[in-house]
């Protein structure tokens, strides 16, 4: 209710549980997620939110909700970019009708520093961010790129090209980015999983 008032709207388009397993509540995460989900289902049924979902949830986290949920998670927002593609999670979510949304498709800018990604973008005559966004779209994901500059926003939306199957396979199998620079302290970028 506070968020709705601050935003001056009657509803939110999407509401997410951000992290399934807080470190300080590791033993209680299952109950906490289920209780939180029940409250979100109430918001959904009341029309306060149009869609409810999760972020950074792995199959075990989703199964925990799935067991008791009246309204199934509609979206799972996850880190997905060239060299870091959670294929088994993609498959799991698709099998349950959960849409995947990719955040950080340019790896917080680190993909721009990768020579293999740079060369591939040059071959297609596009920027590295455009290649990264197209990659996630071709995986069937909704993509959430970050851009404050209006010119970058326009460029990010200009994706009238297709990455070949061979090149998608090459990008899929690039070695993972090892260092996310100043963002390495976040668990999802530092290699620490949420469980």
pLDDT tens digits for range 155-183:
888 899 999 999 999 999 999 887 777 66
Report the SS3 class of residue 103: strand
Residue 193's pLDDT band, with cuts at 50, 70 and 90, is: very low
pLDDT bin (cut points 50, 70, 90) of residue 194 is: very low
- Residue 178's pLDDT is 78
Q: Say what percent of the chain tops pLDDT 90.
A: 68
Tell me what the pLDDT averaged over the chain comes to: 89
SS3 54: strand
Give the span between the Cα atoms of 137 and 36, in whole angstroms: 30
pLDDT, tens only, 87-118: 999 999 999 999 999 999 999 889 999 999 99
Q: What is the mean pLDDT of residues 137-163?
A: 90
């Amino acid at each position: 209710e506070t968020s709705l008032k601050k935003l001056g709207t009657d509803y939110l388009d999407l509401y997410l549980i951000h992290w399934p397993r807080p470190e300080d509540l590791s033993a209680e995460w299952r109950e906490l997620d289920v209780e939180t989900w029940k409250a979100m289902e109430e918001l959904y049924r009341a029309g306060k939110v149009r869609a409810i979902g999760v972020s950074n949830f792995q199959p075990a986290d989703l199964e925990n909700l799935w067991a008791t949920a009246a309204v199934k998670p509609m979206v799972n927002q996850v880190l997905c970019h060239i060299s870091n593609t959670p294929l088994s999670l993609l498959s799991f979510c698709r099998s349950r009708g959960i849409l995947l949304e990719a955040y950080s498709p340019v790896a917080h800018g680190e993909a721009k520093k990768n020579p293999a990604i740079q060369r591939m973008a040059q071959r297609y005559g596009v920027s590295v961010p455009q290649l990264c966004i197209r990659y996630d779209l071709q995986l069937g994901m909704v993509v959430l790129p970050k851009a404050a500059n209006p010119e970058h926003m326009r460029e990010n939306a200009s994706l009238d090209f297709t990455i070949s199957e061979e090149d998608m396979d090459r990008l899929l199998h690039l070695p993972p980015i090892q260092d996310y620079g100043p963002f390495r302290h976040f668990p999802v970028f530092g290699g620490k999983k949420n469980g």
